[in-house]
Each structure stands twice: as structure tokens, then as C-alpha cells.
Amino acid sequence: MITAQHIRAWLERSAQTFAAQKGYLSDLDSPIGDADHGTNMARGFAKVVEKLPPAANNADSSTLLKGASMTLMATVGGASGPLYGTFFLRASAAVAGKSELDGADLHALLTAGIEGVVQRGRAEPGDKTMIDALLPAAQALKTSLDQGADLVAALDACVHAAEAGMQATIPLQARKGRASYLGERSIGHQDPGATSVYFLLAALCDAVKG
């Protein structure tokens, strides 16, 4: 089961990861974007952690996710702000009122978040975006759960699928966002958005494993 403590740990680990991977993400972004994805994500998640309610408040998962959403919307700055902000906003609504999340709840959380991202960015699979890591990750989570895997094993599968999806963006031509201005020249670069999705899900997996 995933508790509010796990969600808190997820956000904290994400902040650590993005702080550590800031340079890598911005490097990925520099040939095809504004070279600011790493900086933006690191700034946003640092603020998320700064604004986390004190542990003594016993805020539930939904409240923590909603708080993260609002902070990301206000502080990330680039398109990732509204996109990750919407992801966490919808995710928060999907688990409202739940004190503990099982595998199905986690899948609902991811699915709701993904729907938000799709609706906001209007990207489709193969457009070389966050979606290309998110969709296979949600699918892998569901498949493992359906096959009877426990939560940790399912999360491992989820992260592996996100990683594969991230790598699969390399040969794609971007059709959304700043990278799409480059047309065919975007081919051969790994998408920074899909990469940050991978980092985010890896942080979740680590947080749940404790």
C-alpha cells in the first residue's frame, strides 16, 4: 500500500533527482529546445518540497499532490509547468479521500494525470513528448497488476517501460512544442520531457521501496 508518507517521499526524491540531473536534462534540451528543462524542473520541485505542509499536519496524498500541482504551475515557468501541474492536479482528484493507495488506485492516479497531460498538450503517441514515456508506463503497471504482481514489482515494470519509452523517443520527429520547429532535425535526440517522466516515476518507485 502507498501512504501519504510515500507520496511525500516521492516528491522529496523527485526534488533530489531533478537537482542532481538538472545539467543532464538541460543538455538534452539544448539541441532541440530552450536548454531550460533541467533548470525549470529543479526549481519547480525545490519549491514543491519547500512548500510541503509539515508532517505533523497529516495531510493526505490528495492534498500533497494538489499542493505540488499548484506550486509547479506557479514556479516551473516553461510548458512543463502547466503540463506537470495538470498531471498532479488530476492525479490529486483521482485519489481524493483515500488514505492508502493500492495498485489499482495508483493506476487510476497515473491514468487521470495522463489524461490531463493529453488534454492540455494535445499530444499524441509518437509526437516525441512526455506522453511517449507515460503511456507505456501506465500500461505496464496495469499489465503487471493484472498478472498478479505485487505493487513493488508492478512499479519496477512501470519504470522499465517508462525508460524504454524514453529511449524510443530518440528516432522520433517532434511534432509538439518548441522541438517541432526543428522538423527532421529533432530526430536523433532523446526527448527531455519523456526523460523527466522517467526520473519522476523512478523516484516514485524508490520512494515506495523505502
Partner 1 sequence: MIGLVLVSHSAALADGVRALIKQMTQERVPIAVAGGVDDPDNPIGTDVIKVAEAISAVYSPDGVIVLMDLGSAVLSAETALELVDTEWLPHIHLSAAPFVEGALSAAVQASVGSPLEQVLAAARGGLAAKQQHLTPSAAPTAIPMPASVPALHLTVPVPNRLGLHARPAARLVSLVGQYAAEVTLRKGEREASARQINAVALLDVRQGDELEFTAQGTDARAVLDAIQQLAKDNFGDRDVEAPHPVITVQAKRPVAVLAGVSAAPGLAVGQIYLLDDTRPDLPTGRSADPAGEQVRLTDALSSARVELDVLSRRSEAGAIFQAQSLMLRDEDLLRAAQDQIKQQQCSAEYAWWHAIEALAARYRDTGNAVLRWRSADIFDVGRRVLRQLAPETAAAIHVPAGSILAAPDLSPSEAAQLNRDEVRGIVTQHGGATSHMAIIARGLALPAVVGLGTAYSMLTSGQTVIVDGDKGWILPHPTAEQIAAACRTIEQQRLEQRRQRAVGQQLAITPDGRRIEVAANIGSAADAVSVAEAGADGVGVFRTELLFMSHTLPPSEAEQVQAYTTAAENVHGGSVIIRTLDVGGDKPIAYLKLPREDNPFLGYRGIRCWLERPELAETQLRAICRVSAQHPLKVMFPMVGTLEEVQTARELVRAVQTQLTREAIPFDPQMEVGIMIEVPSAALLADVLADHVDFFSLGTNDLTQYLMAADRGNAHVNALVSPFQPALLRTIQQVVRAAHARGKWVGVCGEMAGDPRLTRVLLGLGVDELSMNAPAIPAVKTIIRETDYTAAQAVAAHVLTLPTAAQVEAYLDGQSA
Note the residues at the interface with partner 1 (CB under 8 A).
36, 39-40, 43, 70, 73-83, 85-86, 89, 111, 114-115, 118-121, 124-127, 135-136, 138-139, 142, 175, 177-178
Q: CB nearer to partner 1: give 98 or 175.
A: 175
Instruction: Read off φ and ψ for residue 101, nearest 5 degrees.
Output: -115, 130
Q: CB nearer to partner 1: give 6 or 18.
A: 18
Neighbouring residues of 79: CB distance < 8 A, sequence distance ≥ 6: 121, 177, 178
Which of 177, 71, 171, 81 lies closest to 124, judged by CA?
177
Shortest separation between residue 179's beta carbon and partner 1, angstroms: 11
Shortest separation between residue 73's beta carbon and partner 1, angstroms: 3
Largest Cα separation within the chain, whole Å, is 52
Where b means 16+ CB within 10 Å and e means fewer, 96-109 reads: eebeebebebbbbb
Q: CB nearer to partner 1: give 111 or 186.
A: 111
Shortest separation between residue 23's beta carbon and partner 1, angstroms: 15
Shortest separation between residue 84's beta carbon and partner 1, angstroms: 10
Which of 81, 50, 34, 33 lies closest to 185, judged by CA?
33
Q: CB nearer to partner 1: give 127 or 163.
A: 127
Shortest separation between residue 4's beta carbon and partner 1, angstroms: 21
Helix 37-50, helix 192-209: angle, nearest 10: 30
Q: CB nearer to partner 1: give 79 or 157.
A: 79
Q: Which helix (H) or strand (E) holds 68?
A: helix 61-75
